[in-house]
């Protein structure tokens, strides 16, 4: 990672810690462990524009491990989707930035997530729709290493293979953090 991206990642990490501290709740480990992936995606790879965040030809991103929303929010703020000051409203009553991402309230969120194991299925749907509509956008998703124990994930993996979804890239965040064991 070059120096520019390292500084962006550092800023994102600082804002994750600040927002979770201000909220007095959240998932710092799972959020911090995906910062490098999000930084490269949002600042090097994704075909996106914060001004035209609903462009039908944009690349898509699904945060399957939705409880790591503070990382996505800090990345979106750093990329210019909304003001960084908004991060201090994380998990507060009436805030658009709740514990899990909401695509109806937060610009740049392509899929509302929360129930672990469902994000890859949603990403499959987006990728398949792109193929059926002859679009050339990519769909990216980050899965947690704990959530890949869910059966739905493996059904989604087989579906992606069956439909040859070569416009879909899934990352597994192998951070070893899980609520009840390794």
Instruction: List, for residues 39-64, the tens digit of each pLDDT value.
Output: 999 999 999 999 999 999 999 999 99
Res. 1: pLDDT tops 90? no
In this structure, of 15-24, 118-127, 172-181, the range with the lowest mean pLDDT score is: 172-181
Smallest CA-to-CA distance from 123 within 80, 160, 174 is with 160
For 84-143, what is each residue's pLDDT tens digit? 999 999 999 999 999 999 999 999 999 999 888 899 999 999 999 999 999 999 999 999
Q: Which residues contact 10 (CB under 8 A, 6 or more apart)?
A: none
Sorted by where each begins, the domain ranges of the chain are: 3-173
| CATH code reported for the domain at 3-173 | 3.40.50.970
Q: Give the CA count within 13 Å in the CB-facing half-sphere of 84.
A: 11
For 25-36, what is each residue's pLDDT tens digit? 998 999 999 999
pLDDT of residue 178: 73
Please state, as a whole number, how many other Cβ atoms lie within 10 Å of the Cβ of residue 88.
Answer: 16
Q: To the nearest whole number, what is the mean pLDDT of the chain?
A: 95
Q: Which residues contact 19 (CB under 8 A, 6 or more apart)?
A: 26, 70, 73, 74, 87, 88, 90, 97
Rounded to an integer, what distance in angstroms lies between the CA atom of residue 103 and that of residue 76? 13
């Amino acid at each position: 990672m070059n120096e520019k991206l390292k500084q962006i990642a550092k800023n994102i990490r600082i804002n994750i810690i600040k927002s979770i501290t201000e909220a007095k709740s959240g998932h710092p480990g799972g959020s911090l462990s995906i910062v490098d992936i999000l930084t490269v995606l949002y600042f090097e790879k994704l075909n996106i524009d914060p001004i035209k965040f609903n462009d039908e030809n944009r690349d898509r991103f699904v945060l399957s491990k939705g409880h790591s929303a503070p990382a996505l929010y800090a990345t979106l703020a750093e990329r210019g989707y909304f003001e960084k000051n908004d991060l201090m409203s994380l998990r507060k009553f009436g805030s658009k930035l709740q514990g899990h991402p909401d695509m109806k309230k937060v610009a740049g969120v392509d899929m509302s997530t929360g129930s672990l194991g469902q994000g890859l299925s949603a990403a499959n749907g987006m990728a398949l729709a792109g193929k059926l509509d002859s679009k050339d956008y990519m769909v990216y998703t980050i899965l947690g290493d704990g959530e890949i124990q869910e059966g739905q994930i493996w059904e989604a993996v087989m579906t992606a293979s069956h439909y040859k979804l070569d416009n879909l890239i899934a990352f597994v965040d192998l951070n070893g953090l899980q609520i009840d064991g390794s």
